[in-house]
């Protein structure tokens, strides 16, 4: 068998890798600000920013310097030791959220796994042995490891992987009556995304969250806010649950948290602070000092550059411009926008627009079949936002 690694294209990718990704036909070389460059010198406005990871755009000096400085000192030591960047980042996250304890992991799904374990162990300590049910909402996405996948409602992610984690169940999104039917004294936790990302950018209603809160008071379960996509400033507040005045018991963060390096966190309230004992959970790499140093640089920049305010303003500008396009083109069904988390429902497969935009030098993403998703860097300028709108305008007008 000949193995070709010098030609970087989708055919050789097919030969080398398992077929679990559907990659764009673009070999990338480097990035600068909101732009991503191809190996052949082509340049793209990146409106998906590494699936919501590169919140400061590419090549932010503060992140690059923080990584270089920490890498020169210590790349890895493991959680056998105490490491200053972990302490500093933990302190910052607890101050921002008002929560009580942190566990660091490497990916969103890993944070969800830790939250499932925390939920079950908390329930076991505080209730009957039957109190172990973990619920999530229809159309949600929590990741692809077994526990996270078992909470993820869409069959396209589940087909062929039975049996899933027992004791999980689903509540219809924003359906208060279904919520009332499903939760009980046996419920350990309800996992929610206040703004569903992969599900097509849909927001929970304030009434649903109020009902969830009231049911928690009655049955004493945990509310777990999955802020992996909507958190870290993307909706204009540090976490999307903060728009609702909700007080979750556990919060999962990831994506931009490590400034582009793999880092996730579970934050917990005082209610769960003593659930884990030594050895109950852990990871070799989680809380890596270089990732934490990059994360600190990201969080500092988020506040110093007032990026959440900017996200709100740029998001509003994009919303108005997209509504304008929706008025012109009946192929656009609906615009949903929360800060810089934007979903555009269209009448055909959204993948068509991803391909057309790429040809015109703009990277957008498709989710839930017919939703064009935008997750640009929080540093996006109005000129860049205009470039994206002009590109979509051109595509829709050519399609008429």
Main-chain phi, psi angles of 337, to 5 degrees: -140, 125
Task: Assess contact for 25 and 14: CB atoms under 8 A.
Answer: no
Secondary structure (3-state) at 325:
helix
What DSSP string runs through 172-239?
-TT-HHHHHHH--TTEEEEEE-SEETTTTSEE--HHHHHHHHHHHHHH--EEEEE-TTTTTTTTSSSS
Q: Does 107 bind ligand PLP (CB under 6 A)?
A: yes
Among 44, 103, 104, 141, binds ligand PLP (CB under 6 A): 141
- For the bound state, the minimum distance from the C-beta of residue 254 to ligand PLP, rounded and expressed in Å, comes to 5
List the beta strands (DSSP E) in 244-305: 250-253, 264-268
Q: Which two tokens stand for residue 327?
A: 């008025």
Q: Which stretch binds ligand PLP (CB under 6 A): 19-27, 162-170, 223-231, 344-352?
A: 223-231
Identify the DSSP state of 58: B
Instruction: Please identify, using beta-carbon distances, which residue of 46 and 356 lies nearer to ligand PLP.
Output: 46
Among 31, 147, 197, 287, binds ligand PLP (CB under 6 A): 197
| 163 cis-preceded (ω within 30 degrees of 0) | yes
Q: Does 173 bind ligand PLP (CB under 6 A)?
A: no
Instruction: Please identify, using beta-carbon distances, which residue of 112 and 296 lies nearer to ligand PLP.
Output: 112
Q: Does 343 bind ligand PLP (CB under 6 A)?
A: no
Q: Which two tokens stand for residue 68?
A: 């270089």
Main-chain phi, psi angles of 235, to 5 degrees: -95, 10
Q: Does 147 bind ligand PLP (CB under 6 A)?
A: no
Q: Which stretch binds ligand PLP (CB under 6 A): 29-37, 66-74, 101-109, 376-384?
A: 101-109
- Residue corresponding to tokens 């077929």: 19
Among 226, 249, 356, 384, binds ligand PLP (CB under 6 A): 226
Q: Does 113 bind ligand PLP (CB under 6 A)?
A: no
Task: Assess contact for 152 and 142: CB atoms under 8 A.
Answer: yes
Applying the rule CB under 6 A, the residues between 242 and 301 that interact with ligand PLP are 254
Instruction: Please identify, using beta-carbon distances, which residue of 112 and 388 lies nearer to ligand PLP.
Output: 112
Q: Does 143 bind ligand PLP (CB under 6 A)?
A: yes
Q: Does 228 bind ligand PLP (CB under 6 A)?
A: yes
Taken in order 387, 391, 392, 396, the sign of the CA dihedral is: positive
Instruction: Please identify, using beta-carbon distances, which residue of 146 and 317 lies nearer to ligand PLP.
Output: 146
Instruction: Please identify, using beta-carbon distances, which residue of 33 and 260 lies nearer to ligand PLP.
Output: 260
| d(C-alpha 254, C-alpha 103), whole Å | 12
Among 60, 113, 198, 384, binds ligand PLP (CB under 6 A): 198
Q: Which stretch binds ligand PLP (CB under 6 A): 140-148, 288-296, 356-364, 378-386?
A: 140-148
Task: Assess contact for 327 and 225: CB atoms under 8 A.
Answer: no
How many amino acids of this chain bind ligand PLP (CB under 6 A)?
Answer: 14
Q: Does 240 bind ligand PLP (CB under 6 A)?
A: no
- Contacts with ligand PLP, residue ranges (CB under 6 A): 107-109, 112, 141-143, 193, 197-198, 226, 228-229, 254
């Amino acid at each position: 068998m000949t193995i070709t690694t010098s030609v970087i294209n989708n055919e050789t990718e097919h030969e080398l890798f398992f077929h679990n990704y559907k990659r764009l036909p673009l070999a990338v070389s480097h990035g600068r600000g909101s732009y991503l460059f191809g190996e052949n010198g082509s340049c793209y406005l990146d409106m998906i920013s590494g699936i919501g990871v590169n919140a400061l755009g590419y090549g932010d000096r503060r992140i690059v310097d923080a990584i270089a400085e920490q890498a020169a000192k210590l790349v890895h030591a493991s959680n056998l030791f105490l490491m200053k960047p972990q302490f500093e980042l933990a302190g910052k996250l607890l101050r921002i959220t008002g929560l009580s304890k942190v566990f660091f992991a490497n990916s969103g799904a890993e944070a969800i796994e830790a939250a499932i374990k925390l939920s079950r162990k908390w329930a076991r300590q505080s209730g009957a042995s039957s109190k172990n049910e973990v619920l999530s909402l229809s159309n949600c996405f929590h990741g692809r490891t077994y526990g996270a996948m078992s909470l993820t409602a869409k069959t396209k992610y589940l087909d062929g992987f039975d049996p899933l984690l027992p004791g999980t169940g689903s509540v219809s999104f924003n359906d208060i009556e279904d919520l009332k039917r499903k939760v009980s004294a046996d419920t350990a936790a309800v996992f929610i995304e206040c703004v569903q990302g992969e599900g097509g950018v849909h927001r929970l209603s304030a009434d649903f969250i109020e009902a969830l809160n009231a049911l928690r008071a009655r049955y004493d379960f945990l509310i777990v806010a999955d802020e992996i996509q909507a958190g870290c400033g993307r909706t204009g507040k540090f976490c999307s649950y903060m728009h609702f005045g909700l007080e979750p018991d556990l919060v999962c963060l990831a994506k931009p948290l490590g400034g582009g390096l793999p880092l996730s966190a579970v934050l917990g309230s005082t209610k769960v602070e003593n659930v884990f004992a030594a050895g109950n959970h852990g990871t070799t790499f989680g809380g890596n000092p270089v990732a934490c140093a990059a994360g600190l640089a990201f969080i500092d920049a988020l506040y110093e550059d007032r990026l959440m305010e900017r996200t709100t303003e740029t998001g509003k500008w994009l919303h108005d411009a997209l509504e304008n396009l929706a008025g012109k083109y009946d192929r656009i069904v609906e615009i949903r926008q929360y800060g810089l988390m934007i979903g555009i429902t269209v009448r055909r497969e959204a993948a068509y627009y991803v391909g057309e935009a790429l040809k015109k030098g703009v990277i957008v993403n498709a989710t839930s079949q017919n939703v064009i998703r935008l997750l640009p860097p929080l540093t996006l300028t109005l000129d860049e936002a205009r470039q994206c709108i002009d590109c979509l305008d051109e595509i829709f007008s050519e399609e008429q």
